[in-house]
Chains A and B, each alone.
Chain A
């Protein structure tokens, strides 16, 4: 299979804050169309890393190239058209008088035509289930709604690389499903998607590649199956294994493979194990 173009290239990245290294030698390549989840405990450096992907932070050592551009040499504004970052706390990015104006803002900045702006705003409002709030102040919305607004205001200008910091935090099950559908939609449109999260169960069935960070370093990078069934890496990063992986691991003495992650796979194996015994 032919590999798609490299969208993000990180080479020997170190970043220090108050003379302490928060990132210590990160190497990473992200290709167009990948869906990647970055996991790790609080303080592992996840958010610091993704802030390098839109140039908000610049490397202390090493480099980060985004769409071939060295982030040390370009401004955030230059990257903004192609890279959309949705912060963990929506209040860090919301400021307009109304929901509608919030979404329009970036579109106007990028100089889109009125007709396009109108269409994009409607599209984003509907997609995130916010149409009924279009004339409300963002600050009268619930935290979950504000979070969806922050997502809408990035989706509307259609960036190539989308980065979401903790998109499912504080969202209930139905809203999480809605976010999952959105991520799927982005994938079918060929976008590159990166999320930072703690939510192992959310990631396990939906992402192909998982990166685990701990103390400013990447300690695991590979397929979701490989990484989320590696209890050694998970425990180093203080993460809990997905329920299915845990079951499989506890059942390994009955010859159940240790690398199961989907309920269907476990059901197949258990069916054989139990009904096989009857014969």
Chain B
């Protein structure tokens, strides 16, 4: 079964003439880690809002096509029902956090589901330990740094044990180091928990080596969709700006030095070079 299934989806916000999404076709399977990027206004946030039913249940407009999450029709299912399966994290964690302690914040959604106290406690403990939040469990969300707040927002979504996690620019307000920590944590969720993840981000250079699939959107359409190493060397990817290591790879190629697949991080480029140099040295020793 496709975890996410969109067929010919077109959506126009009320009051607009131009569709925000145009004939989107997309299938995402269990365990995929999908990065969606594109110029602002390309429709990537709108796509996220479809996945947990914010569209059409909160944002009105004209919607056509078919949207299914875990086989359930998004259009026919209320958002509170969808929230059990799809966890959403936004740019600004402050809009998502409102309780007096981190622990209560994480428990809140579970209390709403009407789970037994024992189960709630178990889940809260598990999430706190997985996310490494022990030292801040009794703090109020407003006492935390932006990076910590965003971790708490993710923790409270994870406690609901969703099957799919959707994150819309979660690092937009974080400094580079906190961003890297958060993105590493998201990658770990995918790797260790097999969580299906849809992540919208501009920071390609930090993510190419972590995701299994890269989608680039422009003007409401998907213009590229595939593995990061295939997509990133496509000419059309230039509209999102390619990382510097890709630039190096392409320039070397122009000089006849081809590494085959592009390096997705500095470490990958360095390994490619070291093994090439090693091979040359072994060859010259033999000769």
**A interface residues (Cβ-Cβ under 8 A, vs B):** 41-43, 142, 144, 169-177, 198, 200-201, 238-240, 242-244, 246-247, 250-251, 254, 263-264, 266-267, 270-271, 273-275, 277-278
B81 cross-chain contacts in A, Cβ below 8 A: none
Interface of A is mostly: helix
Interchain CB contact (< 8 A) of B172 among A42, A170, A242, A270 = A170
Give B271-287 interface residues, CB cut-off 8 Å to A.
273-274, 276-277, 280-281, 284
| B94-116 Cβ-contact flags toward A at 8 Å (1 or 0) | 00000000000000000000000
Q: B255 at interface (Cβ–Cβ under 8 A)?
A: yes
A169 cross-chain contacts in B, Cβ below 8 A: 172
How far is it, in angstroms, between the C-alpha of A200 and the C-alpha of B243 when the chains are bound?
A: 12
Cβ contact within 8 Å between B176 and A240: yes
Give B159-186 interface residues, CB cut-off 8 Å to A.
172, 174-178, 180
How far is it, in angstroms, between the C-alpha of A169 and the C-alpha of B176 when the chains are bound?
A: 12
- Tell me the minimal C-beta distance from B202 to chain A in angstroms: 6
- Tell me the minimal C-beta distance from B22 to chain A in angstroms: 19
Q: B245 at interface (Cβ–Cβ under 8 A)?
A: yes
Cβ contact within 8 Å between A173 and B240: yes
Interface centre among B41, B174, B178, B247 (most CB of A within 10 A): B247
Query: Could you tell me how many residues of chain B have their Cβ less than 8 Å away from some Cβ of chain A?
Result: 39
Cβ contact within 8 Å between B177 and A247: no
How far is it, in angstroms, between the C-alpha of A69 and the C-alpha of B36 when the chains are bound?
A: 50
Cβ contact within 8 Å between B175 and A277: no
Q: B251 at interface (Cβ–Cβ under 8 A)?
A: yes
Give B237-286 interface residues, CB cut-off 8 Å to A.
239-241, 243-245, 247-248, 251-252, 255-257, 266-267, 269-270, 273-274, 276-277, 280-281, 284
Interchain CB contact (< 8 A) of B40 among A172, A177, A263, A278 = A172
| Between-chain CB contacts (< 8 Å), 18 pairs | A42-B146, A42-B178, A142-B41, A173-B202, A174-B39, A175-B40, A177-B241, A201-B205, A244-B248, A247-B245, A247-B248, A247-B269, A250-B266, A250-B267, A273-B273, A274-B273, A277-B280, A277-B284
How far is it, in angstroms, between the C-alpha of A198 and the C-alpha of B175 when the chains are bound?
A: 6
Write the chain A residue with the least CB distance to B268.
Answer: A247
**A239-B244 contact, Cβ under 8 Å, with A42-B146, A173-B239, A271-B257:** no
Q: B145 at interface (Cβ–Cβ under 8 A)?
A: yes
Known: A200-B176, A243-B244, A270-B248. 11 other contacts (CB 8 A): A41-B175, A169-B172, A172-B240, A173-B39, A173-B202, A242-B244, A250-B266, A263-B244, A263-B248, A274-B257, A274-B276
